[in-house]
Structure 1
Amino acid sequence: MKRKAEKAQAAAPVSAFAARKARQATQAPVAAEKPQIVEPVVEPPPKRARRSLEKQSTVPSPTEENPAQLRRSSRRKEDKSKTEKATQPARADPVPETSQQATEPVSPNSSEDQESSDEELEEDVTVNGSEGVGLGALEGDADGYESPADTPVQVQDFPLSKTRLSKNNIVYSDEHRLCVRIKEKMSMVMLGHYDVWVKRGVISLMGAKLHPSSRVYRVYAPSTHSLPVIKCIAGVNGEAEVEFKSCHSGIYRLKDLSPLYQRIWNGKNTAADKLTLKGASPSAKRTFSVLYTSADDSLKRHLRPLHLEKQWSAAIKSLSQRGGRLKTLICGPKGSGKSTFSRYLLNHLLSPAPQTETNYCNADGVAFLDLDPGQPEFAPMGQVYLVHLRSPVFGPPFSHPSLDGSRDGTIVRAHHIGATSPKEDSDHYVLAAMDLMERYRALQASYPQCPLIINYPGWIFGLGLEVATYLVRSLGLSDVVYMSEKGPAEVVEPLAQAAYQSKVPLTILPSQPTDFVNRSSAQLRSMQMQSYFHMTRPGNIETPLWLEKPLSRTNPFHVHYSGPQQGIQGIMVMGTQIHPDLLHEVLDGSIVAVVAVESPHAILGQNSGPMLSNTAETDPDHDTPMDDTPSSPSMSSSTITSNITRTPTEDLPYLFVGSGSSNPLDPKVSHCLGLALVRSVNISSRTLELVTPIPGSRIRASLAQGHGLVLVRGLLDNPNWAISEDYHSARAAEKRHREATEKLKKNNATTNTNAVEDGIDAERQMLKDRIRRASNVPWMTVVEDNSRRHREAVQREKSLWKLRKKAYPGSDSEGDW
């Protein structure tokens, strides 16, 4: 009877107030021991694709089934937030919809760089059944290392600049320029992109020491990375005079093509900007903003300055003293700061240091051998390359995705790995690295005092460790740098032994990772790829420009793949063997590498020889095929030609040699010219429509040397960003029209006529039709008027990302990096 009474009492309905009182009474001892209570946050699995919108729409949530439950939950969370407000830090990761942060309105900005979230996220975009684009697409990397922060992160008032602007240190300022005096050991931090001109004194910027000269350096400082610090290290009368100038490279226009580029530049004018813009137009705004603290940011982002550890600074100074004899390999776990250290060392070697500080004066530039195909510095993903640099670079990789035609440096040679990880084909990876090292030795014949920096990926466990130790023994290095003091010993000991056998010193430095970021590695790769395809270098302009036209609206290159005017020798698919009938589906809409083949025996394992003949190609400077190009001579003796299988329907030249997967091309007799997007395959005319930023002069020079062209389809990320460009561009055009219309009505409220209103309505309808057409494309689904998902997307956009490392061998991710 007693047990039945207890069951009846438990089943009796309890009011929300009584339940809350009972819960607070039971949680009181726990709250006394742990004052900071963290609510559990549901985080999407990083390795599993999210359910499609159609599936999600058919599964009602608990709050949708019972509205009363939603009201009770809201009251409970509201009362709980009042009791925990003093102890709970501000949450930066995704929070429930009913929290105060989710209901706070985002203040709109009239400038073109700031976007209002409620306008950007009215609709949710899904690519291939998972959110591949849009601000709601903050998915983790494929290897499962990055995910939304599972601990609350407070938005701190973090100090950035030590220098406070006033009338005493402002030399002059207008709508475009700002010239200031910075005292010694004082610093300034800017957000945005700008040109720097040092007029007096010496400043340090991202490892480089900039002295007074007529040279102007361009700096890209987005919120996706730590902000560079401008510090005065020597001055005239204790001060350095520096001018900052707005620049209009067009990179900010990429926000109209991808939400990943939104909210990364400067927002509204800060207090320092308003001080220096007195007397200017109220709408005046530079492309950069001076920040004293992170609280000055109008978008309330987690901004941090880019500072170095003392051990890093000492190691950079020690390594730079070797001058032209320096050949260092930088390795370490993923997220340890290898790229940042390499960039600082590179800029330090390239900065024009005076002769009084050191006996070394860099006149031959610096060679940078990038062996990280997943996060390359000066090339799109999937490539390893050797670049010869002559000027320091200031900005993240997506601000310099290519160096074709740049005065800052040139790519000596590049090889396409076909994947973002070397583990897919380690033998091909090692051969490519050895060939690039041979090219560096050849470069030393012209530049004998050119040092070498080798950036090794975070693939440092298992087979990656064997590759690293092999490179240490065989490359003839002068130094090895390992970026982790925490080991593990299973990695450090073999590296130390290999360095000892090669009589090379091993330097172990502490890692300096960025715990929280607002873009994942996969998203940064997408940004770099999109920047690569939209960047151009006009002949009369030294700095690059970015075009905001979607790739679908650009004129493609028509290349014949069959017939007498055949421009490519074959199409290769790396990583797996596919049936020839499926080559069309695999190729259409994919990213391919344009590889120049220097020998018909370019398949690995075959003897190399000179290329026998030239091949025809489409003129990259025109949109039509080169009909007057002479046809290619017969290459019956070519090994590549003999291994080509024509597809039965499309007549595509499928190049496959191997068993299970295709053997790659030999790096000794082939090199990568760049990447291209296959927009379509025209079967009737036997042509491919390619969109590529490869300069036409480079393709013509390769053909003039007798090289053949092969398209290589690897295992790179799908170009979801290219699929959704038309949609985001149409939405941006519609938003600009709406803002212009509202402004026109506000200024001419009494003079508007019916004819003007009819024209505005017609244009608005035309833009809506454009949005409708852009949203009706394959592999993309647009869900309109979904307020709940819209609010969730807003919260994900505000969330930070935390890097989680598995730095031990034998784990399930030891092959990832």
Structure 2
Amino acid sequence: MKRKVEKQQSAAPVSAVSAIAARRARQPQQQVIVPISPSPDPRATEEPPTKKTKPSPPTDEKWTDSEKPRPDRRRRKGKLVAEKRQDDSMESAPQESEPLPDEPSADESRWEEENEDITMADGIEEEALAQNEEDESYESPTNVATEIENFPLSKTRLNKSSIVYADENRLCVRIKEKMNLVAVGQYDIWVKRGVISLMGAKLHPSPNLYRVYAPSTHSLPVIKCVTGIEGYAEVEISSCHSGMYRLGDLSPLYQRIWNSKNTAADKATLNGNSRRTFSVLYTSSDDPLGRHLRPLHLEKKWSAAIKHLSQKVGGLRVLVCGPKASGKSTFSRYLQNHLLSPAPQTENGYSNTDGVAFLDLDPGQPEFSPMGEVYLAHLRTPCFGPPFSHPSLDGSKDGSILRSHHIGATSPKEDPDHYVLAATDLMDHYKRLLADYPQCSLIINFPGWIFGLGLEVATWLIKSLGLSDVVYMSEKGPSEVADPLAQAASEAMVNMITLPSQPTEYVTRSSAQLRSMQMQSYFHKSQPAQLQSHIWSDAPLNRIRPLSVDYAGSRQGILGVMVMGAHHNPELLHDLLDGSIVSLVAVENQNAITGLATNADIPEHAMEDDDEQSDVDPDTNMDDATESPADESSSQPTLLSSLQPFITRTQRENLPYLFIGSGSCTPLNPKYSRSLGLALVRGIHPSSHKLDLVTPIPPSTIRDALETGQGIVLVRGQLDNPNWAIAEEYYAARAAERRHSASVVASRKAKAGQPASNKTHTDARKQKEISQQLRDRVRRAGNVPWMTVVEDTRRSARPSDGANHKKTMWKLRKKAYPGSESETDW
């Protein structure tokens, strides 16, 4: 009877004491239950699973709340009054009730257990940062008001007949036809026999390895056997170490998204305490962290549409549009993977050697670039993972970005004219690409800005881009959007396909948080020449040597600094620029600036790399790489001299403020300019007239632009503040302190019972000194003018030790204007 009473408490209004007890019991599952009014049948408020859940193999773990057997509805209805009375009595005397199952452990013991996982960062502890109501910066991923449901994931069960071989790094399994397998984490997959489907791609037996990123932030990819030999496909899944899990040391957004302790399926294939970078899951309840996990399945209509579109081979020019959160990016990703993975020899004799062109017109949630950019990419291989696992394409075997333009905002509504010009220029470059790759299909991803002026832009693109198909991701309209799109498609003689929306039912990160994760991944990602895959660094940006650029003098490396939007007082340029995200825009021709002559030549300009500060390959000579190619005739006006009427120098720093237009700044013409990538302005030095830039742009890209006579302009848009970069040192310091504390505890356990010696005392003193240094580092990182660490006592103490574990947060103090009280009110 007490178990029924405890379950009924979650559906009835509870007192403060019982609410704390209930929340403590649910903390291991990382869920927050929304209080609901009592109803005769609590199951009426719950959404049933789409499929019948298959139980996992028995383990020692206790059942979760979602797995507890429910009494019959008729019995519940008959005993509702009695249970309500007992519920009230238990609220008044909670000490008389049984302790609920799944008691959470203390922070320290939980950290020691999860710190052993090689696929998790050192900050696995629950990091509930308080959210500023006036800021959209950070929401705690754990504070999500929804219940955890047990979803079936893998149909294939690992046993002696399905396991070919297994060790601490690899797992080779046989998957029967129409069966599937789901894993969370990072892994490389190799198809040895049969044909499997993965995120829209059909992978045939080959020596190729495909890197898969399957974090809990998105629905997990499903490995399904499509065609088998002797009834099954054989695949090998192996661990990979890209370093992305280390980003958890720099941001709580990257914590608790990979695999943790071994699951029931892992224990059947591993011996001892060894772990892989991936874990096989049978159901979502198998996850040791109790996260909301979903399999990535497609609507049948989506599959039929992808099959229909892929039959057009090289004549495909499709625009994917629809409302926000309707599945546009997912559909585009599935379609491009399907086009990039045909059979070695299909029935019509076509073999895709020309790749797929991807025109991404969504600056808020781009697929292969950081936010604020629209671009044209030429893809060569399927891509398996969310956008933050491939924030850029560096010309590797996966593909390359042919041309990119900086919009400077997460929505094109800030400047629709500039947005249309950028889209038109990218489409022109796609037509040039067809000269070398005539069978290259085109996929255009349009943003969710589909109402009002956005609808006019969409209809104009349909009529002017020469499309073959339009996919609208909503069967429910509205008619004021669907009808004009259908009419525009009819006038342009373009086929229009209407598909149902497939929004994500559960999202562990908001759109702003996903943008921050993609930005952070972009700045920490690199592509070493000796490696075939990308790697990520866990060094905070303030510890990376920047690229030093002259903004004035004889070796001036940038033409000017442009701030998009309204006109600003030039004396505010320092505050607008310092610590902001800017785009390095290459000016290819004077026509990029409205009103300039068209027959002037581009001057010689260079970007200097300080030997003491540059964070580039020591074998690369930046002075040689950025020298101007040849002296140009002094009789010809240079681009810099032509820009002088539009440049205002600040009095204190001598910064070149480039403003074109009246009232608001006119952006550079996309036809004669392009974005090289983004950079973080880490410092401004007025005495030496230098800017310190941290950027992942390869030095060869900048060198090639300068050697072709192009000038560089820094464009400061209206992107989100880089709050993630400001807090990196703080989180890195805390992670280092936790690692050292864990090593000290492990050392003490290993030396327990041994006699003390001089070496033991010496090691203890060294450990104490290191601990003090790490504590000082945490204090320095949290005691800076732009960040304030605030104690958050809103969450209750854990019942395991009764201590009041306080959580911390950080927030950014902004200046209203120079000299204001807010400038010094920290």
Give your verdict on TM over 0.5: yes
SS in structure 2 of the partner of residue 601 of structure 1:
helix
2:593 aligns to what? 603
Deviations 1:655-677 (A, max 9, x none): 00112211000000000000000
Instruction: Give the drift of 1:236.
Output: 1.2
Structure 2 residue 742 is matched with structure 1 residue 739: yes
- The AA in structure 2 aligned to 1:696 is P
Q: Which residue of 1 aligns with 2:447?
A: 457
Q: Are the equivalent residues in 1 in contact too, given 2:791–2:807 (CA < 8 A)?
A: no
Residue aligned with 2:714, SS: strand
Structure 2: how far apart are the matches of 1:747 and 1:730? 26
2:117 counterpart residue number: 111
Shift of 1:376: 0.2
Structure 2 residue 270 is the aligned partner of structure 1 residue 277: yes
1:38 deviation in Å? 8.5
- In 1, the alpha carbon distance for the partners of 2:315 and 2:703 equals 36
Q: Which has the higher contact order (CA 8 A, sep 6+)?
A: 1
Question: Per-residue displacement from partner, 1:353-377 (whole Å, max 9, x unpaired)?
Answer: 2434444321100000000000000
**For 1:276, what is the secondary structure of its paired residue?**
coil
The reply on whether 1:225 has 2:218 as its aligned counterpart is: yes
Matched residue of 2:268: which SS?
Answer: helix
Structure 1 partner of 2:780: 773
Q: How does 1:95-494 map to 2 (within 5 A)?
A: 104-105=104-105, 107=110, 108-109=113-114, 110-114=116-120, 119=125, 121=127, 124=129, 130=135, 132-133=137-138, 136=140, 153-278=146-271, 282-494=272-484
- What residue identity is the alignment partner of 2:192? K
Identity of aligned residues (%): 61
Distance 1:605 1:238 in 2: 69
TM-score normalised by length of structure 1? 0.81
Structure 2 CA distance, aligned partners of 1:82 and 1:217? 57
Aligned residue for 1:552, secondary structure, equals: helix
Question: Is the CA contact 1:102–1:795 (under 8 Å) kept in the aligned structure 2?
Answer: no
Return the offset for 1:784.
Answer: 4.2
Matching of residue 754 in structure 1 with residue 757 in structure 2: no
Contact 1:601 1:639 in 2 (8 A): no
Match for residue 690 of structure 2? 687
Bigger drift between 593-602 and 207-216 goes to: 593-602
Return the offset for 1:641: 3.2
Whole-Å separation in 1 of the counterparts to 2:434 and 2:661? 37
SS in 1 for 2:396: coil
Q: Deviations over 1:50-105 (max 9, x none)?
A: xxxxxxxxxxxxxxxxxxxxxxxxxxxxx97974999xxxxxxxxxxxx9899844
Give ranges in structure 1 of 5+ residues lacking alignment: 1-15, 18-29, 40-78, 87-98, 139-147, 798-817
CA distance in 2, matches of 1:536, 1:82: 61
Q: Which residue of 2 aligns with 1:645?
A: 648
SS at match of 1:516: coil
> For the Cα contact (< 8 Å) 2:627–2:707, is it kept in 1?
no
Tell me, in whole angstroms, the C-alpha distance in 2 between the residues paired with 1:196 and 1:364: 24
1:669 aligns with 2:672: yes
**Conserved? CA contact 2:191–2:236, under 8 Å:** yes
Conservation of the 8 A alpha-carbon contact between 2:793 and 2:807: no
Between 1:455-464 and 1:655-664, the stretch displaced more is 655-664
Q: Measured at CA, do residues 787 and 400 of structure 1 come closer, stay the same or move farther in structure 2, by a change above 3 Å? A: same
- Residue 482 of structure 1 and its aligned partner are, at CA, apart by 0.1
Amino acid at match of 2:174: R
Question: Cα gap change, 1:328/1:37 in structure 2, threshold over 3 Å: closer, same or farther?
Answer: closer
The residue aligned with 1:700 is 703
Contact 2:577 2:716 in 1 (8 A): yes
Q: Say whether 1:654 aligns with 2:660.
A: no
Distance 1:334 1:81 in 2: 46
Report the Cα offset of residue 590 of structure 1. 0.2
> Is the 8 Å Cα contact of residues 792 and 806 (structure 2) preserved in structure 1?
no
CA distance in 2, matches of 1:454, 1:619: 38
Q: SS at the partner of 2:784?
A: coil
**What is the rounded CA distance, in whole Å, between the counterparts of 2:38 and 2:779 in structure 1?**
53
Alpha-carbon distance, 1:608 to partner: 4.7
Distance in 2, Cα, partners of 1:311 & 1:392? 22
| Residues 32 and 254 of structure 1, relative CA distance in 2, 3 Å threshold | closer
Paired residues of 1:328 and 1:454 also in contact (CA < 8 A): yes
- For this pair of structures, how many residues does the alignment match? 703
Paired with 1:114 and 1:627, the residues of 2 have a C-alpha distance of 40
Distance 1:425 1:118, change over 3 A: closer
CA distance in 2, matches of 1:664, 1:164: 57
SS at match of 2:394: coil
Change (3 A) 1:233 1:432: same
On the 8 A contact 1:208/1:351 being kept in 2, the answer is yes
Q: Is it true that 1:522 corresponds to 2:512 in the alignment?
A: yes
Shift of 1:137: 7.3
Match of 2:714 among 671, 692, 711: 711
Equivalent AA in structure 2 for residue 136 of structure 1: S
For each residue in 1:513-537, what CA deviation from the matched residue of structure 2 results, as whole angstroms up to 9, or x when unmatched? 0122110000000000000000000
Specify the SS of the correspondent of 2:484.
helix
Q: Distance in 2 between matches of 1:697 and 1:182?
A: 45
Residues 422/787 of structure 1: CA separation in 2 closer, same or farther (3 Å cut): closer
State the partner residue of 1:546.
536
Mark the CA change 1:32 to 1:277 in structure 2 (over 3 Å): closer, same or farther: closer
**What does residue range 2-81 of structure 1 map to in structure 2 within 5 Å?**
31=38, 35=42
The residue identity in structure 2 corresponding to 1:293 is T
Mapped contact 1:600–1:640 kept (Cα < 8 A): no
Say whether the 8 Å CA contact 2:793–2:806 is kept in structure 1: no
Corresponding position of 1:48? none
- Contact kept in structure 2, 1:126 and 1:781, CA below 8 Å: no
> Which AA in structure 2 matches 1:426?
P
Match of 1:805 in 2: none
Shift in Å, 1:621: 8.8
Shift of 1:400: 0.3
The alignment status of 1:678 with 2:681, answered yes or no, reads yes
Paired AA for residue 701 in structure 1 = D
Q: Secondary structure at the match of 1:369?
A: strand
SS where residue 445 of structure 1 aligns? helix
Give the root-mean-square deviation of aligned CA atoms.
3.1
Where 2:226 maps in the other structure, the secondary structure is strand
In structure 2, how many angstroms separate the alpha carbons of the residues matched to 1:794 and 1:210? 49
Partner amino acid for 2:137? G
Q: What letter matches 2:789 in structure 1?
A: V
Misfit runs of 4+, over 6 Å: 36-39, 79-82, 99-103, 115-118, 125-129, 625-634, 793-797
1:399: how far off? 0.3
- Structure 2 CA distance, aligned partners of 1:676 and 1:396? 22
The structural deviation recorded for 1:462 is: 0.2
* TM score, norm. by length of structure 2: 0.80
Per the alignment, do residues 172 and 81 of structure 1 end up closer, same or farther by CA in structure 2, a change over 3 Å counting?
Answer: farther
- The CA deviation at 1:407 is 1.1
Counterpart contact for 1:125–1:131, Cα < 8 Å: no
Structure 2 unmatched runs, 5+: 1-14, 17-36, 47-82, 91-98, 615-620, 799-803, 809-826
